[in-house]
Structure 1
Amino acid sequence: MVVKSELKLIKSLQQKKCRNEHGLFVVEGKKTVEEVVNSKIKLHKLLAVDPEGFVEGVEVERITNRELSQISSLKNPNGYLGVFHIPEQAEQLLSDWILVLDGVQDPGNLGTIIRLCDWFGLTDIVCSLDTVDCYNPKVLQATMGSITRVNIQYRVLDSFLNSTKLPVYGTFMDGDSVNDSKLPKKGIMVMGNEGKGVSNSVAKLCTYKLAIPQYGGETTESLNVASATAILLHEIRK
């Protein structure tokens, strides 16, 4: 049985300040937990309602359904939970293209974007300090394990963009059509906040302004940031 103090700690990790304080985050779901266990991320503790056959060769503590429901962030916990150490930020960025997120707030959007970067082979995402925490439980659920293959950093974007020699492409409603733009082999793509778009200070540092052309009626104000990211990453890889 898991002791109460451990349950209390795990429950607290749903809050960003507690994750930062303890340097730990929680992953739920058998497939995703197994992916993180098999990555370079350091394991702290594994819990399962049915430990039999779950992650061979690794110690798994048994937990009751009642205990799991007390600490889970899911409405219907599926029986498997892992606690992992937050890895240190990598010092170097290795992608040919780097995705920059300026104030993305929705956990589902960030999780989907991380998964998209994994799909399109971008290994680096640089987030503004006000972007949602990548170890938020809802973000982790949406990544479907891609969190283990994408390097995510949180930086002051003005400083980061001022220091790069790569061309910086920002996404704007009034930008040049991406269909008419010849994208280079290396660069930075900036995606803005769901409601406000790219912030003014970051917009000033964008070398080029891109837009995704609209073919339907003009009743839709803008694309969802994750959907727009998918289109632009496809353009990068074309």
Structure 2
Amino acid sequence: MLSKNQAKNLRALHRKKTRREQGLFLVEGEKVVAELLAASDWQVQSLYATAAFINAYKGLIKQSGVTLVECSAEELTSVSTLVSNSAALAVVAMPRQAPDLHLDSNTWILALDGINDPGNLGSVLRIADWYGIQQVMCSPTTAEVYNPKVITASKGSFLRVAVVYQPLPDFFATLSANTAVLGAYLDGESIHNLQPNPQGGVILLGSEAQGISAELAALVTRKITIPAFGAAESLNVGIAAAVICDNLKRLSSL
């Protein structure tokens, strides 16, 4: 049974300020929590779960050694950011140290400039994971990766994709001079016309509203675009990321 104090503490983690102060965040839903429990490099502080979830994943729960509180689906939903939660909710410690991003040969890094919608960031992480991109560099103005909407939209990909926040000019200053930086624009060269490039590089995406900032535009080595065949004004950044990653993956395998 969920106590009033536990419910209060869980609801508090809906707020960014509390997450930062406590260094904790929420992971919600059956599949994602099960993935989390199976991952050895994340510290799960406590688990709130229904009897059905506990019975289905008792081996994982025992193996993780997590503090367990059995709850009803109604209790879980009352403290969840989801519309309905009939399985589980975990309280997880944020990593104490940010991952060290490095650009190896034949790999791509996604760089996000001011992507402030949490759902979009979560979708981008899921897309990066799908295409084998394991590193995402975010500007400080990009949405917080531990926002519950980001975690939910990523569908577990936050467990496998390293996310770092840093002023992007500082990040680009660490790259070698010959690094390819592909910037997504409405008026760039068609992604369909690119030639195979096995060396990899950086894919830079701006927000749908603002695009890539002028400061970063000077660092782009090649402006690219997704050609339009209809009348839509623009694409959601997640969809754009998927189309670009798919084309680059296809070219790298030629």
Q: TM-score, normalised by structure 2?
A: 0.87
Deviation of residue 206 (structure 1)?
A: 1.0
Which one of the candidate residues 191, 200, 217 is aligned to 1:186?
A: 200
Q: Is residue 173 from structure 1 mapped to residue 186 from structure 2 by the alignment? A: yes
Q: Is the 8 A contact 1:34 1:55 kept in 2?
A: no
Moved over 4 A (4+): none
Moved more, 45-54 or 111-120: 45-54
The residue number in structure 2 matching 1:54 is 57
Quickly say closer, same or farther: Cα 1:25–1:224, change in 2 above 3 A: same
Which one of the candidate residues 57, 63, 71 is aligned to 1:63?
A: 71
Deviation of residue 23 (structure 1)?
A: 0.9
Cα distance in 1 for partners of 2:20, 2:246 equals 34
Cα distance in 2 for partners of 1:92, 1:196 equals 26
Deviation of residue 55 (structure 1)?
A: 4.2
Which one of the candidate residues 136, 139, 145 is aligned to 1:128?
A: 139
Secondary structure of the structure 2 residue equivalent to 1:52: helix
Deviations 1:83-108 (A, max 9, x none): 11112311233561100011112222
Cα distance in 1 for partners of 2:36, 2:73 equals 22
The residue number in structure 1 matching 2:14 is 14
Secondary structure of the structure 2 residue equivalent to 1:89: coil
* Aligned-residue CA RMSD (Å): 1.6
Cα distance in 2 for partners of 1:204, 1:211 equals 17
Cα distance in 2 for partners of 1:34, 1:119 equals 19
Moved more, 159-168 or 55-64: 55-64
1:142-157 pair list within 5 angstroms: 142-157=153-168
Give the aligned residue type for 1:227: I
The residue number in structure 2 matching 1:209 is 223
Q: Is residue 197 from structure 1 mapped to residue 197 from structure 2 by the alignment? A: no
Which one of the candidate residues 218, 243, 246 is aligned to 1:231?
A: 243
Cα distance in 1 for partners of 2:248, 2:71 equals 46
1:74-89 pair list within 5 angstroms: 74-87=82-95, 88-89=97-98
* Structure 2 spans left out of the alignment, 5+ residues: none
Aligned residues: 236
